[in-house]
Amino acid sequence: MSTPHSNKYRRAGRSSSSQPELPPQLGRRRKKKVVSGHSKHEQEKWQGGQNGASKRDPFIWGRNIVIVLFVVGLFAAGITYLAKQKSVAPADDDAMWVAASSGVEAELAELKAIDWELFEENIRAFLNTTDLEERLKYVSQPEIARQHYAKYSADAQTAKLRTLFSGPIMGDNYILYSAQLENLQMVLIPVLLGDQLGLIDWDAYGRYNPYSIQDLLNGEVAEAEMRAYLSEGAFYAYQFRDDKAWVAYEYSEPKLDESVSVYVPRDSALARKIEFHQRKFARGEANSSPLPFMFKLRSVNDSHKKKQFELVELINFGWVKELPAE
């Protein structure tokens, strides 16, 4: 799996003053602002107004000096901490955090070189026909897509395009567009970069899974790769009752009515990777909205009977599986 970089989930492409929002699954929550105010009398007193103390009041001067010294001390401590951090090699599990601050210039150059019109033309051509053979002309690995076609979601098989939104999201090896189909369903459309430049990953768009979540819930398989959404969870029970040992997530996918819980060992590389993607997408803030991931789930000691699974591998963000080396 590729190492995430700094602007991995930033908006890419041409700007739009009337850019529609992403699908509901990718909505961001606004961070509440907490405003701490003072009474008018207190503000005047601090500013040395006519109803407050004089600017030469020794108490005010003393307090100001203490505050300044405190701020300067914090600044110096911060500089010292950063200097020490730079001199220490990061642990393997945390290497992605360091990698996130590199490669910006390379990404910008890559974005400038992209033929955005080609990308959008391919998406429109792909979604404006219901003929399988015609659609295969615009996808990567068409023979694999032909084999997996029967397991694609119904919308991904034949539904046609209504609106293609501007401002796609850039991932490791793809550009992720959002669109609305004629049946008003909101979808994510991944267009590949690299050797497959401009082609659509139909497995990702169709959310192809060798086994369904129902296969896991019914115990027909104990482990399976899934393309679905993950968001912050709060259900700790049974063998996953210890919230100090586990991090809970909520599993979701379109048209799934059941509540399914997913768990990752707390303080693990997996937990940090998921948090990394959540914060990168939310531009550094905590994000509890459902995000698209490709991952592997496993039933542990018949935990599927309680609709609980352990996430044992995070394959990618955005449902695009890395292509095998040729």
Distance CA 18, CA 244 (A): 44
Domain extent listing, the chain: 57-87, 103-205, 213-317
What does the DSSP assignment read for 259-273?
Answer: -EEEEEETTSHHHHH
- Low-confidence stretches of the chain (pLDDT < 50) are 1-56, 58-59, 61, 63, 65-66, 68-72, 74-104, 324-326
The predicted model scores a pTM of 0.64
Q: Which CATH architecture has domain 213-317?
A: Beta Barrel (2.40)
Other C-beta atoms lying within 10 Å of the C-beta of residue 76: 10
Nearest to 223 by CA among 297, 294, 311, 295: 297
What is the DSSP secondary structure assignment for residue 230, as one 8-state letter? E
Residue 107's pLDDT is 54
Q: What CATH number should be reported for the domain whose range is 103-205?
A: 3.10.450
